[in-house]
Every structure is written in structure tokens, then in C-alpha cells.
């Protein structure tokens, strides 16, 4: 009796240990190496469980950079940024985990170590550079005015006395505030998701939106009642990857971005997501 129960408890203890060890291998969170998987023998070695997981935060409302694709029947985040992130993670031997949040929560997520990096078509502004480190620029875009086709809202001057929607915390919000200094009566509505912003334009609750060209193009293609006009005087908005201040990943990522720029991989992805340019 005594003996039997101790055998039982040994079996139970080893079972438990196996469960714990198995649990260590996945979803390790932010850049920390998972405990080494020591469970030898019983199962096929799974090289993937040995890899560190990097958590990437994004705001998946930004087709073709990052967006929810439901076409396969399940909800997947895909896009230009996701392909680049997967390529880099793979090159550096990391697993990738993508988490979706509002755009204005991204830099705070880095500051509180809830993410190892951010890819969200994000432009390194001096403000953001105070709170995060940035990779080299991997893509350039311009701002546009999105409005109804018959609106004749093509240039910043046309936005006088108009309601203009922008994404909260974006450089488009900053650009609108800048415009409002010279364009009289321009009123700004800041919203979390680009989809909501486009909806506001379509329903006429706002007159126009300021959105990046590549993203505006997609929305205008799927909403024929809308048009977009590039703001010519506007300087280019480069996209870069953001990291927590002092992160060793910045260097490693820069190395792979340069490699992608030299081996044609970046051009391939630009063609895939933005069409031939
Ligand atoms: N490039 C702009 C910025 O850095 C907008 C980026 C918005 N990105 C997004 N995933 N919604 O502020």
C-alpha cells in the first residue's frame, strides 16, 4: 500500500514536470529566452520550442502595412510589415508573435516592455525618438487628403472651415494641427482606427481625412465615392521599426534590413504589397 502510493506520486510528479517543461517552450513573451527544454527522449526534439519569441506590437488597421485578413475563414494579421518582421525574425532565429492595439498605445507598449518592437508604418519623429529607438527607414510615403469625389477638397487651403479626421497619435494628426495654424477654421477629429476615419468621411460626419498615400489608395479603390490628393508640399514620411530605448535588437534588425535592401527581398515585398512602382 505504502509502496504503491509512492510509485503513484512519483509518476504524478514526473508528469507534472513534463507539463511544466512543455509549457516553458512557447509564448515566452518579451525577448527573454525560454528555460532550456530538458525533456529528453520521449518526444521528437522540436527545434522551434528552443527559439526565443519576439513580441511585435502593431495597429492592424493599416492596409497594406498590416491588416486583418479574414479571407481564409480565420482572423489573420498580414501585410508588408508582417512579411518584413517574419523575414527578420527568421534570419535572426526568433519566433514572432504579433499583438494588435491602438496606434497611440504602441510607443507606451515599448516603454513598459510589453513589446520587443513595433512595426506599424511608423515614422521616427523627434518626439518619438525621445521614448524609443528606431531602425533605418525601410519605406517612404506621403500624406494625402481623402474626401468625397465631388468635394473639391484637394489642397490644404481647401480645408478652411472643414472637419478633418486623423488617427490619434499619428504624424497626420500633427500635420493637421500644423495646417490649422494657417488654414482658418480647420477642425480636427482624432480617432483610433483608420477604418473609422474613412467611415466618417463616407457618412459626411467629417469632410476629409489626412491619410498616407499607399493606405489611402486602398481605401479609395474599395470605396469609389472617395478620392485622394497627395499633399505635394509635404515632406516624405519614412517608416521605421521602433524598439525600447537601448534595445540590442536595433543593430541586429538594421543589419537584416540592409541585407533585404541589397538582396532584392525588400523590392519583392514592396511589389507584392504596393504594386509595381
Ligand atoms: N506614418 C504615420 C505615423 O507614423 C501613421 C502610421 C499609422 N500606422 C498604423 N498602423 N495605423 O504616425
How far apart, in whole angstroms, are the C-alpha atoms of residue 27 and residue 95?
A: 9
For position 113, what pLDDT does the model report? 96
Residues 128 and 115 in one domain: yes
Predicted confidence (pLDDT) at residue 26 exceeds the cutoff of 80 = no
Question: Residue 180 falls within a domain, yes or no?
Answer: yes
For position 17, what pLDDT does the model report? 43
Residues 180 and 223 in one domain: yes
Residues 242 and 219 in one domain: no
For position 196, what pLDDT does the model report? 98
> What is the per-residue DSSP string for 215-234?
HHHHHHHH-TTEEEEE-TTS
Question: Residue 207 falls within a domain, yes or no?
Answer: yes
Ordered alpha helix ranges (H), the chain: 2-24, 80-92, 106-111, 126-131, 171-180, 194-203, 213-222, 249-263, 265-274
Question: Residue 38 falls within a domain, yes or no?
Answer: no
Could you give the number of structural domains in the chain? 2
Residues 133 and 147 in one domain: no
178-193, pLDDT tens digit by residue? 999 999 999 999 999 9
CATH number at residue 197: 3.40.190.10
Residues 93 and 121 in one domain: yes
Residues 169 and 221 in one domain: yes
Cα of 1 vs centre of ligand 1, distance in Å, is: 68
pTM for this structure? 0.82
How far apart, in whole angstroms, are the C-alpha atoms of residue 119 and residue 54?
A: 12
Residues 84 and 114 in one domain: yes
Other CB atoms closer than 10 Å to residue 145's CB: what's the count? 25
Residues 159 and 218 in one domain: yes
Question: Residue 84 falls within a domain, yes or no?
Answer: yes
The whole domain housing 199 covers 143-230
How far apart, in whole angstroms, are the C-alpha atoms of residue 65 and residue 34?
A: 30
Q: What would the grid cell of residue 248 be?
A: 540590442
**Does ligand 1 come within 6 angstroms of the Cβ of 107?**
no
Predicted confidence (pLDDT) at residue 47 exceeds the cutoff of 80 = no
196-211, pLDDT tens digit by residue? 999 999 999 999 999 9
Question: Pocket of ligand 1, candidates 172, 231, 234: which has the most ligand atoms within 8 Å of its Cβ, to mutate?
Answer: 172
Residues 134 and 249 in one domain: yes
Q: Provide the pLDDT confidence category of residue 276 given band limits of 50, 70 and 90.
A: low
Chain-wide mean pLDDT for the chain? 87
Question: Residue 121 falls within a domain, yes or no?
Answer: yes
Q: Most distant CA pair in the chain: distance in Å?
A: 90
Q: Rounded mean pLDDT of 35-45?
A: 41
Cα of 121 vs centre of ligand 1, distance in Å, is: 5
Question: Residue 245 falls within a domain, yes or no?
Answer: yes
99-156, pLDDT tens digit by residue? 999 999 999 999 999 999 999 999 999 999 999 999 999 999 999 999 999 999 999 9
Amino acid at each position: 500500500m505504502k509502496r504503491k502510493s509512492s510509485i503513484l506520486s512519483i509518476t504524478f510528479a514526473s508528469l507534472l514536470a513534463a507539463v511544466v517543461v512543455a509549457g516553458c517552450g512557447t509564448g515566452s513573451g518579451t525577448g527573454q529566452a525560454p528555460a532550456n527544454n530538458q525533456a529528453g527522449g520521449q518526444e521528437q526534439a522540436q527545434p522551434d520550442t528552443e527559439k526565443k519569441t519576439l513580441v511585435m506590437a502593431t495597429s492592424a488597421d493599416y492596409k497594406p502595412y498590416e491588416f486583418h485578413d479574414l479571407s481564409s475563414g480565420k482572423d489573420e494579421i498580414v501585410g508588408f510589415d508582417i512579411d518584413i518582421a517574419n523575414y527578420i525574425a527568421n534570419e535572426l532565429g526568433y519566433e514572432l508573435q504579433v499583438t494588435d492595439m491602438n496606434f497611440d498605445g504602441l510607443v507606451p507598449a515599448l516603454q513598459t516592455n510589453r513589446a520587443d518592437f513595433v512595426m506599424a508604418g511608423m515614422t521616427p519623429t523627434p518626439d518619438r525618438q525621445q521614448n524609443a529607438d528606431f531602425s533605418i527607414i525601410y519605406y517612404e510615403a506621403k500624406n494625402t487628403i481623402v474626401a468625397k469625389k465631388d468635394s473639391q477638397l484637394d489642397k490644404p487651403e481647401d480645408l478652411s472651415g472643414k472637419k478633418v479626421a486623423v488617427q490619434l497619435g499619428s504624424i497626420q494628426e500633427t500635420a493637421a494641427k500644423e495646417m490649422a495654424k494657417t488654414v482658418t477654421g480647420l477642425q480636427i477629429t482624432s480617432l483610433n482606427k483608420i477604418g473609422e476615419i474613412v467611415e466618417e468621411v463616407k457618412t459626411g460626419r467629417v469632410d476629409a481625412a489626412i491619410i498616407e498615400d499607399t493606405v489611402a489608395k486602398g481605401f479609395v479603390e474599395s470605396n469609389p465615392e472617395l478620392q485622394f490628393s497627395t499633399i505635394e508640399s509635404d515632406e516624405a514620411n519614412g517608416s521605421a521599426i521602433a524598439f525600447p530605448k537601448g534595445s540590442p535588437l536595433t543593430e541586429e534588425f538594421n543589419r537584416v534590413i540592409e541585407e533585404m535592401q541589397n538582396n532584392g527581398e525588400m523590392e519583392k515585398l514592396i511589389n507584392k504589397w504596393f504594386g509595381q512602382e
